[in-house]
Structure formats: structure tokens, C-alpha cells
Amino acid sequence: MTPPLFWVDEVPRAGDTTVLSGPEGRHAVTVTRIASGESVILGDGRGTTAECEVVDVAGKDRLTVRAGRVQFHTRAKPLVTIVQALPKAERSELAVDLMTEAGVDAIVPWQSSRSIARWSGSKAVKGVEKWRSTAATAAKQARRAWIPEVADLAGTTDVRDLAARVTAGGGIVALLHEDGSVPFRSIDFSDAPEVVFVIGPEGGLADSEIADLTALGGTSVVLGPEVLRTAAAGAVALGALGAVTDRWAR
């Protein structure tokens, strides 16, 4: 079984000892119940990890580890950004959790025209922070070396700008839609440096949004015969992409 992963600001060098404390140390000691002699992984969320041995446990939130092998993990290709229209509150963090575990590189929360949830002001700030916290927790659970970047709340103009940039650079922008005109399996992702999946809310993408983004080079894509809930669509798309590209190669 892979040792548990804990986040630190800076990964120690091989041979060095360091102390894991605070919330991560408390989780290691009281929840995971790590003991001396066991192995853990420390990561900075930016690609660097260290395989460590626990040499001492003190109190309820403090353990000392010695670093062994240190690695830098490159990101899988192509890079994947998911533009996720705001789901209903009870499914919001679930969407982030699932797509993070499935390997997303960046997440853009989007206030789409059909989003029932409405973020503004302090609610938008709190919502983005909650998504970032969820992404960090899910990345740790999945033993990921990279925590996905969660952008600030985007409007449709921001999404248009992203789509234009990605398509201009040779990337693919796929609008996941039950009435999409192109089957997912027919798209050639092999040479794309970047892929963006645009996912609508519970009511789906509006016709005007589809028209805007396809005019900028996006493609309206259908994943399969089933109609997916918005919280699951990102993870399913990432799984399908992993099966037809080298993203899952190890």
C-alpha cells in the first residue's frame, strides 16, 4: 500500500530530518495514527515529494521524519483544465473532489447563465477557498504530487478568453453536452498540448454559450449515451481521456 501523503511548504532534502506539525501533523498522529518506523510521503503540491521514515512521534500533532528519496514529478500531457459551471451547493465540492482524484490540472469555477448557485462578493471568495481546500484534500487522498490550481470565479467573458487562447495554441476545447455533435472517441487528442473541458450546470449549457465557444474553435462533444450529472462529468471525461492518451502511462 502506498504510504500516506502530507503537505508541507518545502520538501526536505534527502538525508535531512524535519518536523511535521500543525493540522497535517495532527492528522498524521490522531487520524492516520502514524507510528515511529512507518513510512510517509511529504509533498509540496507543486510536483516534489520525499519518501520519509518516521523517527519520532510527540504528542498529538507532531512527528519527526527523515527524508529518503526525493522526486520531482512532471505533469501528465496534455494539460487538462476543466471549466466547471457552479453546481448546486450539495454537489459543488463533490465535483471538485472527483475531478481532482481523476487527474485534472486546473479548475475554473464558472458563473454560467443557467447556474442555480450564485456567487458574488464574499460568497465568491469563500466558495473558491472551499474548492481549493477540497482540491488539496482530494489530491492528498489520491497521492498526487500536484494540487490542481483553482482559479478565481470566472464569467463567460473569461471562459471565452481561455477558449481563444487554448485553440490559438493548438489545444482542444470540448464542450461536454448531451446533444453534442461530435462523439468523444472521434477526437484526436494525441498532439494537443492542452485540453479544456467545459461543463454546464444542472440545466446544461445555454445555446448562446455553445454558439460563443464553438465560434472560438470549441467543439460540442457527447461523452456517451448516458446523461451525466454535472458533478460526475469532469471525472468521466478525464477517465476517457486517460484511456486514449498517455496521461495514464506509468
Task: List every span in the chain annotated with CATH 3.40.1280.10.
Answer: 79-243
Task: Provide the whole-model pTM.
Answer: 0.94
Say what the pLDDT of residue 250 is: 64
Taken as a whole, the chain contains a residue count of 250
DSSP letters spanning 218-236: -EEEE--SS---HHHHHHH
Q: What is the pLDDT of residue 227?
A: 83
Specify the pLDDT at position 97: 97
Q: Is 129 exposed, middle or buried (0-12, 13-18, 19+ CB in 10 A)?
A: exposed
pLDDT at 189: 94
pLDDT along the chain (250 residues), means of 10: 93 95 92 92 97 92 94 95 91 94 97 91 95 97 97 97 97 93 92 96 92 96 88 95 85
Q: What is the pLDDT of residue 180?
A: 85
- For 6-39, give the DSSP string: EE-SSPPPTT-EEEE-HHHHHIIIIIS---TT-E
Q: Which among 191, 197, 244, 241 is positioned nearest to 219, based on CA atoms? A: 197
Model pLDDT, residue 181: 83
Task: Identify the CATH number of the domain defined by range 79-243.
Answer: 3.40.1280.10
Domain with CATH 2.40.240.20 in the chain: 5-72
Order of strands across the sheet with 182-183? 149-150, 106-110, 79-85, 194-199, 172-176, 219-222, 182-183
**What is the structure's pLDDT at 38?**
94
- The CATH class for the domain spanning 5-72 reads mainly beta
**pLDDT tens string 105-164:** 999 999 999 998 899 999 999 999 999 999 999 999 999 999 999 999 999 999 999 999
Max CA distance (Å), the chain: 60
**pLDDT value of residue 59:** 83
| Cβ atoms within 10 Å, residue 191 | 9
Burial class (CB in 10 A: 0-12, 13-18, 19+), 174: buried
What's the pLDDT score for residue 233?
A: 95
* Assigned C-alpha cell, 65: 521524519
The pLDDT, as a whole number, for residue 95 is 96
What's residue 41's pLDDT? 97
The DSSP result for 140-207, as a single string, is HHTT-SBPPEEPPPB-HHHHHHHHHHHHHTT-EEEEE-TT-SEEGGGS--TT-SEEEEEE--TT---H
